[in-house]
Amino acid sequence: KILVIGACGQLGSELTLALRDIHSKNNVVASDVREPEGDLADGPFEILNVMNKSDLENIIDKYSITQIYHLAAILSAKGEKDPKFAWDLNMNSLLNVLELARDKKLEKIYWPSSIAVFGPNTPSKNTPQHTVMDPNTVYGISKLAGERWCEYYFEKYGVDVRSLRYPGLIGYKAKPGGGTTDYAVDIFHKALEDGTYESFLSEDTYLPMMYMDDAIKATINIMEADKEKIKIRSSYNIAAISFSPKEIAGEIMKHLPNFSITYNPDFRQSIANSWPDSIDDSEARSQWGWQHQFDLSKMTSTILTGLKELLNHQAG
């Protein structure tokens, strides 16, 4: 039985549905601090504050959970508004999961890291798997510390925890949760609703990005890979595409010729500047066969088509 923590989030909501397709819905328990919406409610659900270790333990016992996908976290932009809370939630929740995984001999754990573990002194082009990591956001610091804890619990206690350093994840089915890369989600909503978008990052801000379907595929792939193939127990670099606000706006204009973009960088510009432009993910590709499917053009047409349908459907 699988437990998804943070199932109502941008990644969690789509990943839970994908896992239910594979393992059938009654084998995937969704949990979050808030009630589920839409299809997510069509399966086992528990309200859970993952900071509460005994509540988490009760759910593991109640459903005889054997695998946990721990996706709950405060993301980069939101974390800078309340650093202490972001650190407490991101770190204590992971330690709760790792402790229980060890004590209850859970089969496998998934925990996402991020390109946010890299910082201003990290080589920014084709950032290697092993390199200087000096994150300067609370979110990035918590993800770097989390990677160290994952490797520690694997080496010392044999906990089979697996992790990916996600780039910016771009999807349209769920609201984003306060990230810096979420301009690339907002731009599609504004393009369809207002015909114009004011970007909070400057026009040439390149960032590593990935369409949500690719991120879900990578997550399922690493969790289904044979244990011996997983050589990296901190977190794997994975990559798909890198683009700037100017480039994604240009791609949208191919479909919506009247779409316009303006630029008004805010505090999130300095966060984006501290992150790489592109990532070297050769280990993931060679060790467990990672391969992305969506380039910028395919992602843009997929999202515009899907979002139009969603908005028409919501309009009723």
> Contact residues for ligand VAH (CB under 6 A)?
75-76, 114-116, 139, 167-169, 179-181
Q: Which is nearer to ligand VAH, 10 or 96 (CB)?
A: 10
Q: Which is nearer to ligand VAH, 161 or 239 (CB)?
A: 239
**In the complex, minimum distance from the CB of residue 219 to ligand VAH, in angstroms, rounded to a whole number:** 14
Q: Which is nearer to ligand VAH, 86 or 161 (CB)?
A: 86
The DSSP 8-state label assigned to residue 217 in this structure reads H
Q: Which is nearer to ligand VAH, 60 or 116 (CB)?
A: 116
Amino acid at position 152, single letter: Y
**In the complex, minimum distance from the CB of residue 75 to ligand VAH, in angstroms, rounded to a whole number:** 4
**In the complex, minimum distance from the CB of residue 213 to ligand VAH, in angstroms, rounded to a whole number:** 16
- CB 21: neighbour CB atoms within 10 A? 10
**Closest residue to ligand VAH, Cβ-based?**
179
**In the complex, minimum distance from the CB of residue 116 to ligand VAH, in angstroms, rounded to a whole number:** 5
Residue 301 tokens read as 């047409």
Amino acid at position 173, single letter: K
Q: Which of 124, 141, 139, 136 lies closest to 208 in space, CA to CA? A: 124
- Alpha-carbon gap, residue 147 to 164, rounded angstroms: 10
Catalytically active residues are 139
Q: Which is nearer to ligand VAH, 66 or 202 (CB)?
A: 202
Burial code (b: 16+ CB inside 10 Å, e: under 16) for 257-289 equals eebebebebeebbebbebbbbbbbbebbbebbe
- Alpha-carbon gap, residue 275 to 56, rounded angstroms: 33
Instruction: Name the H helices within the chain.
Output: 10-23, 53-63, 76-79, 83-103, 138-157, 183-193, 212-224, 245-253, 268-273, 282-288, 296-315
**In the complex, minimum distance from the CB of residue 64 to ligand VAH, in angstroms, rounded to a whole number:** 32
